[in-house]
Copies of this chain bind each other. A is one copy, B any other.
Amino acid sequence: MKKVGNQTIVFDIPPTVLETACIGGPKEANGPLAKYFDQVLDDEFWGEASWEKAESKIIKETVNRVVAKSKISQGKIEYCFSGDLLNQCISSGFGLRDLNVPYLGIFGACSTFVEGMGLSALFCNTPIANYALCATSSHFCSAEKQFRFPLELGNQRPQTSQWTVTGAGSALVSKSGQGPFITSFTPGKIVDMGIKDVNNMGAAMAPAALNTLIAHFHDTGRSPSYYDGIFTGDLGYVGKDILSELSLKYGYNISSNYNDCGVMIFDKSEQDTHSGGSGCACCATVFSGFLFNQLKQKKFKKILLVATGALTNATSAQQGESIPSIAHAISIEI
């Protein structure tokens, strides 16, 4: 591998995304991408006594699913990268405690999945790994409870707010294979433009996505048109518009081939979530389901996946802090 420009890692022998798996919640089951999910749930509990335990079960079963689908024995998987939105990343910690694979916890809020894919690819591009796994999860109910208000209060949500996706996605990356290939990884920098509205994460995260997009295009010499599709993780409708406008201002026209996983996962007219979906599982399920399918079917040949995360918590918002954000990008090509 080599570094090009200031912050993009190019994999000269690009690792393959060997297999993916995703599980979605009951709302996601009625969304337009549900048919690409491996499994959808009837309710938010999945037989567990709490939302947190349900989320752990979702990530656990998603990882079991990707291993089973890949037909690679679990003992051959050398590293697992995982993290999630719950405090101290307990969905991952509890869900994967029986995995018996060296575990490297990561946290980039909703950018976690792409951070994990980038690190998995990087490890597989060295002599130390043939197979590495990444996974992440989120859960609408556990996230609302933790970051905002108890659901029982029935609070109204402003139009800029997004709906945390219930689900998990996982990808198994292999040193060799037939593709789709992870060809580059652009880890992002923390960007904080002073947005303080915790009900407008799209606005807070869009500048981070812009920063990483510009770095990626600058480093690689590629233009937006190089890609069949550019997909951000969970900017939602508000953030998507901001990113489109900011990109144009900086000389990159992404209007014809850009979409956001938070916009794609729910049906705007039938499932009004206001500004769309969010959460670690938003990008993770849309990639592991729909996008991976389209790459395998050669409907997309080159995509750029840019997951965005808001590095905030409930206490910092109460203390009047703004929302530092980050975005990590990977290019995936067949």
A127 and B1 within 8 A (CB): yes
A88 and B313 within 8 A (CB): yes
> A97 at the A/B interface (Cβ < 8 Å)?
yes
User: Please, what's the 1-or-0 string for A93-128, where 1 marks a CB less than 8 Å from any CB in chain B?
Assistant: 110110111111111110010010001001001111
> A276 at the A/B interface (Cβ < 8 Å)?
no
For A311, give the chain B residue with the smallest CB separation. Answer: B93
A128 and B311 within 8 A (CB): no
CA distance A108 to B103 in the complex (A): 9
A104-B115 contact given A88-B109, A128-B1, CB 8 Å threshold: yes
> A268 at the A/B interface (Cβ < 8 Å)?
no
> Which listed residue, B50, B97, B315, touches A192 by the CB 8 Å rule?
B97
Residues of B within 8 A of A104 (CB): 106, 108, 115, 119, 187
Q: Distance in Å from the Cβ of A111 to the closest Cβ of chain B?
A: 8
Residues of B within 8 A of A191 (CB): 97
Residues of B within 8 A of A115 (CB): 104-105
CA distance A129 to B108 in the complex (A): 21
For A101, give the chain B residue with the smallest CB separation. Answer: B189
For A108, give the chain B residue with the smallest CB separation. Answer: B105
> A153 at the A/B interface (Cβ < 8 Å)?
no
For A316, give the chain B residue with the smallest CB separation. Answer: B90
Residues of B within 8 A of A315 (CB): 52, 86-87, 90, 146
